[in-house]
A and B are shown apart, each in its own frame.
Chain A
Amino acid sequence: SAVISQKPSRDICQRGTSLTIQCQVDSQVTMMFWYRQQPGQSLTLIATANQGSEATYESGFVIDKFPISRPNLTFSTLTVSNMSPEDSSIYLCSVEAERGETQYFGPGTRLLVL
């Protein structure tokens, strides 16, 4: 399976600021995904990031709030913009497995917005 790292692992931010989360994979992957997991909840897909094209956002998520970059096949960033306490969550990036169906997850970024 791919080795995935995320930075930062956790952060405490002030309301109204923005945070960019980085996701690095040790191999080239076509599709990368960004999820949010709020306390006690399951995973909610924010967007799918393909290299060389605009990210595809799920219902309820917009590019202005969660801009995503995918400059190459091993790296992606997710920015959480103009944060509010409701954005406090764990943000996870994932990549498709070799078979192309299931996904492997990074360690997550724990965000607390005050």
Chain B
Amino acid sequence: QKEVEQNSGPLSVPEGAIASLNCTYSDRGSQSFFWYRQYSGKSPELIMFIYSNGDKEDGRFTAQLNKASQYVSLLIRDSQPSDSATYLCAVVSSASKIIFGSGTRLSIRP
């Protein structure tokens, strides 16, 4: 089992709809969770972080964390073509080591 798992996609979502990206992790002691966006040919860019169970909203982005289910998700409302990118989930393990998922490729179709 991978330490951080994401569906590789591509996930295709129509413009204006909600894109839902999911991530599961294996280390139950993990405390910190991050979402990075990576455009093709560019480096990863931090867009959201969440530490507590529940939802955290920032503009069109909502991160959701469920530690009991070891599940973190990212919702993107009113999806735009500019949201088309690979989204990397990252988890800080109980050993204080950041572990990246393999990423989900999101495509927003006009």
List A residues at the B interface (Cβ < 8 Å). 1, 41-43, 90, 92, 97, 101-108, 110
Contacts and interface: CB of A to CB of B under 8 A. Distances in A.
Given A42-B100, A43-B100, A102-B34, 6 more contacts: A41-B102, A42-B103, A43-B44, A43-B88, A102-B92, A105-B44
Given A102-B34, A102-B90, A107 B43 contact: yes
**Which residue of B43, B46, B49, B90 has the most chain A CB atoms within 10 A of its CB atom?**
B43
A42 B32 contact: no
Interface residues of B, number: 18
B92 A104 contact: no
Contact of B46 (A92, A104, A107): A104
Contacts of B98: 101-103
Nearest to A6: B43
User: Binding site of B, secondary structure by majority: helix, strand, loop or mixed?
Assistant: strand
A102 B45 CA distance: 11
B97 to A, nearest CB: 8
A110 B92 CA distance: 27
Nearest to A102: B34
23 contacts: A41-B102, A42-B88, A42-B103, A43-B44, A43-B100, A90-B43, A92-B43, A92-B44, A97-B46, A101-B32, A101-B92, A102-B32, A102-B34, A102-B46, A102-B49, A102-B90, A105-B43, A105-B44, A105-B45, A106-B43, A107-B43, A108-B42, A108-B43
Given A104-B46, A106-B43, A107-B43, A42 B34 contact: no
B101 A42 contact: yes
Nearest to A33: B98
A104 B90 CA distance: 12
Contacts of A42: 88, 100-103
